[in-house]
């Protein structure tokens, strides 16, 4: 990191005095931002709100300001984008791309910053040219001068370690989170603002489709008691959770990058014991997003362990637990076993996140499995179908998980294990879970590409 973070000892009176001296309004706080600066807006549910609105007021007096965040999770664009929709003054950068980020990207108001999630702490600390001002939401200060970062430690310490100045926006609604490096001391902060205490953004998963329910069923039948679960967001992972809740699978643990509603429901059902090798009894994650019940569950809950992403997503840390099961969605899989989870051709859809971290970490785990899931087809506006099992990824597609790392691929027609398989075996297995309408065509393409023999039969 570019500077050392050692909180200094302060008496209660010193803490109170320092708080008063560092306290400013949001409008006054953002005066330290200068033309040409690079500014970080915070992480996930800790992204600032009042400071964003204050900075937007300065749009006409600033030039060439670059603003980063991890994922904009609110329903409206940042105030700086609304104030500067043509990006003449502010350039807005996302490391993941939410639905709103994608919309802004199409308008030329947001750009993507490719990352490998487990590397993010080092990336910010050592490889970004500079961060002039880091802003983040925190919970209220305690009597010892510590502010809780909330349920999004992730790469926060890399960002703060790189920043010349740190501004915190105090939000009383931030959950007080237990874990690793979850607090920031007043002596490490340059400016404090007290926010309007906005509600945290809620990420509500849609109900699972019939196709997603079939995919979930193929996964759940391969999950054993004693598993350490990593689930993503969305209807299908939540449905996996509901199927497990109604099954005889038990003695589960949580080691995941993202903590979501499904874990709360599984805990309430008595399915989660935390009986794993690392952080026994704890539910480990690096950030949380979901409904209000997620934030209420996390708040001051001693079984919660939120930690830095370079630790939580480290392959060796994931793999230290037995029977890790990782479940993530993807967009396309080609007959080589290459997985695209980020784009439709050159059209950007989402970031890599920690998918590869958990694909590799789960495989290293004793008895571990990773599942990459996609419907077999996509329906066009005219009603025609496009196969998402493809001979080759379309031009411009992003390889999120290389063929050497891919373990299980799942569609509504089944789950196939590509590990330990030759190129022709992989092609045949993938064709077997493609939509029946496309299997003959895929067989012909596989033969023309030299992946299979002409006499190959589709495996059933």
Active site amino acids: 257
- Of 278, 276, 273, 219, the closest CA to residue 250 belongs to 273
DSSP string, 342-356: SEETTEE----TTHH
Of 120, 115, 44, 96, residue with least CA distance to 310:
120
- Helix residue spans in 246-350 (DSSP H): 261-268, 292-298, 309-312, 315-319
Q: How many residues does the chain have?
A: 460
One-character DSSP codes across 37-97: -EEE--SGGG--SHHHHHHHTTGGG--SEEEEES---SSS--HHHHH-TT-SSEEEEESS-
Q: Are 67 and 92 in contact (CB under 8 A)?
A: yes
Q: What whole-number distance in Å separates Cα of residue 216 and Cα of residue 48?
A: 36
Alpha helices in 151-302 (DSSP H): 156-162, 210-220, 235-245, 261-268, 292-298
Per DSSP, what are the bridge partners of residue 237? none
Instruction: Report CA-CA distances (Å) from 341 to 235, 262, 348.
Output: 17, 22, 10
The answer to whether 209 and 257 are in contact (CB under 8 A) is no
Rounded Cα distance, 308 and 285, in Å: 9
Tokens of 175: 């959950």
CA angle, 273 as apex, 267 and 275 as ends, to 5°? 150
Closest CA to 280 of 272, 290, 288: 272
Alpha carbon distance 91, 98 (integer Å): 17
| Integer Cα distance of 282 and 182 in angstroms | 15
Residue of 336, 316, 343, 344 lying closest to 421 (CA atoms): 336
């Amino acid at each position: 990191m570019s500077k050392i973070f050692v909180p200094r000892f302060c008496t209660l009176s010193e803490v109170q005095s320092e708080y008063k001296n560092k306290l400013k309004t949001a409008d006054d706080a953002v005066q330290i931002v200068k033309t040409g600066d690079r500014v970080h807006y915070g992480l996930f549910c800790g992204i600032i709100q009042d400071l964003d609105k204050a900075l937007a007021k300065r749009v006409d007096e600033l030039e060439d300001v670059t603003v980063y965040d991890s994922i904009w999770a609110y329903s409206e664009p940042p105030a700086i984008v609304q104030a500067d929709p043509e990006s003449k003054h502010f350039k807005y950068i996302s490391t993941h791309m939410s639905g709103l980020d994608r919309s802004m990207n199409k308008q030329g108001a947001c750009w993507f910053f490719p990352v490998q999630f487990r590397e993010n702490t080092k990336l910010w600390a050592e490889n970004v040219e500079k961060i002039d001002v880091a802003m983040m939401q925190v919970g209220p200060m305690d009597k010892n001068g510590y502010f809780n970062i909330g349920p999004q430690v992730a790469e926060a310490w890399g960002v703060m370690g790189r920043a010349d100045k740190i501004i915190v926006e105090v939000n009383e609604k931030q959950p007080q989170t237990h874990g690793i490096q979850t607090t920031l001391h007043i002596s490490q902060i340059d400016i404090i603002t007290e926010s309007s205490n906005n509600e945290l953004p809620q990420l509500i998963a849609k109900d699972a489709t019939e196709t997603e329910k079939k995919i979930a069923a193929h996964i759940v039948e391969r999950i054993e008691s004693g598993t350490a679960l990593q689930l993503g967001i969305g209807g299908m992972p939540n449905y996996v959770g509901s199927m497990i809740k109604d099954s005889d699978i038990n003695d589960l643990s949580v080691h995941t990058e993202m903590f979501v509603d499904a874990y709360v429901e599984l805990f309430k059902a008595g399915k989660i014991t935390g009986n794993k090798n690392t952080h026994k009894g704890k539910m480990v994650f690096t950030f949380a997003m979901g409904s209000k019940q997620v934030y209420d569950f996390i708040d001051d809950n001693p079984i919660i362990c939120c930690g830095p992403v370079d630790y939580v997503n480290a392959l060796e840390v994931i793999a230290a637990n037995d029977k890790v099961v990782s479940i993530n969605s993807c967009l396309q899989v080609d007959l080589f076993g290459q997985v695209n989870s980020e784009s439709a051709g050159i059209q950007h859809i989402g970031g890599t996140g920690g998918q590869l971290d958990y694909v590799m970490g789960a495989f290293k785990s004793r008895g571990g499995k990773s599942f990459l899931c996609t419907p077999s087809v996509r329906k066009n506006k005219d009603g025609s179908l496009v196969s998402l099992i493809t001979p080759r990824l379309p031009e411009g597609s992003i390889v999120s998980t290389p063929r050497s790392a891919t373990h299980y691929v799942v569609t509504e027609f089944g789950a196939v294990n590509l590990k330990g398989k030759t190129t022709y075996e992989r092609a045949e297995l993938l064709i077997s879970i493609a939509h029946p309408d496309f299997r003959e065509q895929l067989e012909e393409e596989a033969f023309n590409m030299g992946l299979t023999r002409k006499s190959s039969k589709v495996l059933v």
